[in-house]
Amino acid sequence: MDSKRTALVTGGNRGIGRAICEGLADRGVHVVMGSRDEANGKAAAEPIREGGGAVRVEPIDVAEPRSLEACADRLRADDVAVDVLVNNAGVYPEADVLETSIDQLDRAWTVNTRGPWLLVKAFVPGMVERGYGRVVNMSSGSGSFGEGLDPNHAIYAASKTALNALTMTLDDALPTGPDVKVNAMCPGWVHTRMGGEAAPRTPEEGADTALWLATLPEEGPSGGFFRDRERIPW
């Protein structure tokens, strides 16, 4: 991958997101680390810089459209073009359909689906115009009809199913010609604050497929759903 590329990773200050930022920086990609709390982002970015990586911290709350617009405006003002978008930020409410509160529903929808949708609208047109782009949507097998939706996390499953639909419809909307690819992925059960201490995978293992999709060659896939670099059912 061209080391001059720039990647924006939401939820990049911890867990899988931070592992993705570290992996991209190791590959020579310029990283824009999105963090809801700027101080946490700066703390997470420091080791990457110490290791020689190029990283910029951007305060981003994916639930707030104005926050996303402000980030896009700052990057545009600094002539930073986003070549890779990793929609990693997410929330994981635990409740079945009948127990889910309106607050849980609104939060999961705005963070897991609407935020990525707005970021796609903000940055994919530029990718198309420049002729190159990669979009990676952090989904979950919990949102797969083929693997079985998770009834105990109903709104999480529904919001990830909607993110999968965004992936498929965006791929269909991309014009022929520009090397722009969009894919969804499931990281597996990862030992993070969201995944819990019993999870068997490390953040680095969870990040592997995202790093692969973020750096796909021109002949790589688009419009797919992957785990461990292998296709899984929608």
Q: What is the pLDDT of residue 191?
A: 62
Q: What is the pLDDT of residue 2?
A: 54
Residue 15 pLDDT > 80, yes or no? yes
Q: What is the pLDDT of residues 107-124, one digit of tens each?
A: 999 999 999 999 999 999
Q: 113-138 burial, b if ≥16 CB within 10 A, otherwise e?
A: bbbbbbbbebbbebbbeeebbbbbbb
- Cβ 181 vs Cβ 134: under 8 Å: yes
22: amino acid identity, one letter: E
Q: Using CA atoms, how far apart are residues 39 and 45, in angstroms rounded to an integer?
A: 10
Q: What is the pLDDT of residues 187-226, one digit of tens each?
A: 976 766 666 677 777 889 999 999 999 999 999 999 999 9
Q: Is the CA virtual torsion 132, 183, 167, 110 positive or negative?
A: negative
Q: What is the pLDDT of residues 71-85, one digit of tens each?
A: 999 999 999 999 999
| 3-class DSSP assignment, residue 167 | helix
Residue 1 pLDDT > 60, yes or no? no
Q: What is the pLDDT of residue 203?
A: 87
pTM score, whole prediction: 0.95
Catalytically active residues are: 156
Q: What is the pLDDT of residues 22-62, one digit of tens each?
A: 999 999 999 999 999 999 999 999 999 999 999 999 999 99
DSSP, residue by residue, 97-121: TTT--HHHHHHHHIIIIIHHHHHHH
Q: What is the pLDDT of residues 146-186, one digit of tens each?
A: 999 999 999 999 999 999 999 999 999 999 999 999 999 99
Could you give all domains of the chain from N- to C-terminal order, each with its CATH number? 6-231 (3.40.50.720)
> What average pLDDT does the segment 126-147 reach?
97
